[in-house]
Structure 1
Amino acid sequence: MSKAEYSVEDFILDPEFRGWILDNSKEGKAYWENFLKEHPEKIADIMLARKFLIHLSKKKSGLASTAKEEIWTAIAGKIESESQSEREPKIISLDSWAAIQQHNQEAAKKKRTAWRRKAAAVLALVGTLGYFLAKTLTATQEQAAPVLAETEVLQAPLGVKSTITLEDGSVVFLNSGSKISYTKGFTDSLRLLTLEGEAYFEVAHDPSRPFIVKTGSVSTRALGTEFNVFSFPGEDVSISLVKGEVLVSREDADLAQRLAPGEGILTSLESGKWEKTEFDAERALAWMNKTLIFDQTHFGAASKKLEAWFGVEVLFENKVPQSLHVSGRFVDESLENILEGLSYSSRFKYRIEGKKVYIQFNP
Structure 2
Amino acid sequence: MKKDRLLAKWLNDDLSPDELAEFEASPDFEKYRKLKDYTAHLEVGDLDENAMLSNILSQKKAAPKVVPLYKKWVFRAAAIFVLALGITFAMKVLVPQTETADFGKKTTFSLPDNSEVVLNSGSEINYKKWNWDNNRHLELKGEAYFRVAKGRKFEVQTNLGKVTVLGTQFNVKARKNRFDVVCFEGRVKVNYADTQILLTHGQSVSFENGKQIKTVVSLTQPEWIGNEIAFYKENIRSILDEVERQYDITIELNTKDTTSLFTGKLPANDLNTALQIISTTYHLEAKQVSKNKIIFDGK
- Give the TM-score band, short-chain normalised: 0.5 to 0.7
The within-5 A match list for 1:25-36 is none
- CA-CA distance at 1:150 after TM superposition: 1.0
Instruction: Deviation per CA, 1:259-287: give whole Å up to 9, x if none.
Output: 2211223335x63x457x56314498111
SS of 2:132's equivalent in the other structure is coil
Q: CA deviation at 1:243?
A: 0.6
Aligned-pair CA distance for 1:319:
2.1
Give the drift of 1:203: 0.4
1:200 is displaced (CA, Å) by 0.6
Letter in 1 for 2:162: S
TM-score (norm 1): 0.51
Distance 1:323 1:278 in 2: 19
Residue 257 (structure 1) shift: 3.0
1:150 is paired with a residue whose SS is: coil
Residue 300 of structure 1 pairs with residue 237 of structure 2: yes
Q: TM-score, normalised on structure 2? A: 0.61
Aligned length: 214
| Greater fraction of residues in strand | 2
- Cα deviation, 1:48-85, whole Å, max 9, x if unaligned, reads xxxxxxxxxxxxxxxxxxxxxxxxxxxxxxxxxxxxxx
Distance in 2 between the 1:309 and 1:324 partners? 22
CA contact (8 A) 1:262 1:278 kept: no
Instruction: Kindly report which structure 2 residues correspond to 1:164-313, keeping only aligned pairs within 5 A, or say none.
Output: 164-206=109-151, 209-216=152-159, 218-235=161-178, 237-250=179-192, 253=194, 255-267=195-207, 271=210, 273=211, 279-282=216-219, 285-294=222-231, 297-313=234-250
3-state SS of the aligned residue for 2:288? strand
Shift of 1:214: 0.8
Structure 1 runs of 4+ aligned residues shifted over 6 Å read none
Amino acid at match of 1:229: V
Change (3 A) 1:188 1:171: closer
For 1:302 and 1:278, the matched residues in 2 are separated by: 17
Task: Indicate if the aligned counterparts of 2:237 and 2:257 stay in contact, CA closer than 8 A.
Answer: no
Question: Partner of 2:258 in structure 1?
Answer: 322
Letter in 2 for 1:298: N
Conserved 8 A contact 1:155-1:178: yes
Correspondence for 1:159 among 80, 85, 104:
104
**Higher alpha-carbon Rg:** 2
In angstroms, what is the RMSD of aligned CA positions?
3.2
SS of alignment partner, residue 225 of structure 2: helix
Identity of aligned residues (%): 24
Q: Which of residues 260, 267, 274 in structure 2 aligns to 1:338?
A: 274
What stretches of structure 1 of length at least 5 have no aligned partner?
1-138
CA distance in 1, matches of 2:259, 2:191: 36
Higher deviation after alignment, 185-194 or 282-291: 282-291
Q: Counting helix residues as a fraction of each chain, which structure ranks higher?
A: 1
* Equivalent AA in structure 2 for residue 220 of structure 1: V
Q: Which moved more, 1:213-222 or 1:150-159?
A: 213-222
On the 8 A contact 1:178/1:199 being kept in 2, the answer is yes
Distance 1:297 1:143, change over 3 A: closer
Q: For the Cα contact (< 8 Å) 2:137–2:156, is it kept in 1?
A: yes
Say which SS state the counterpart of residue 220 (structure 1) adopts.
Answer: strand
- 8 A contact 2:224–2:268 mirrored in 1: no
Question: Which letter does structure 1 place at the counterpart of 2:225?
Answer: M
Residues 283, 293 of structure 1: 8 Å contact kept? no
Q: For residue 151 of structure 1, report the CA deviation from its aligned partner.
A: 0.4
Q: Give the aligned residue type for 1:314.
A: I
Alpha-carbon distance, 1:205 to partner: 1.1
Is the counterpart of residue 150 in structure 1 residue 102 in structure 2? no
Query: CA 1:210–1:300 in 2, change beyond 3 Å: closer, same or farther?
Result: closer
Q: Answer whether contact 1:186 1:192 (CA < 8 A) is retained.
A: no
Runs of 5+ consecutive residues of structure 2 not aligned to the other structure: 1-81
Whether contact under 8 Å (2:101, 2:107) holds in the other structure is yes
Q: Which has the higher contact order (CA 8 A, sep 6+)?
A: 1
Maintained 8 Å contact 1:240/1:279: no
Structure 1 pair 233/258, CA: closer, same or farther in 2 (3 Å)? same
Quickly say closer, same or farther: Cα 1:171–1:185, change in 2 above 3 A.
Answer: farther
Picking from 273, 278, 293, the partner of 1:356 is: 293
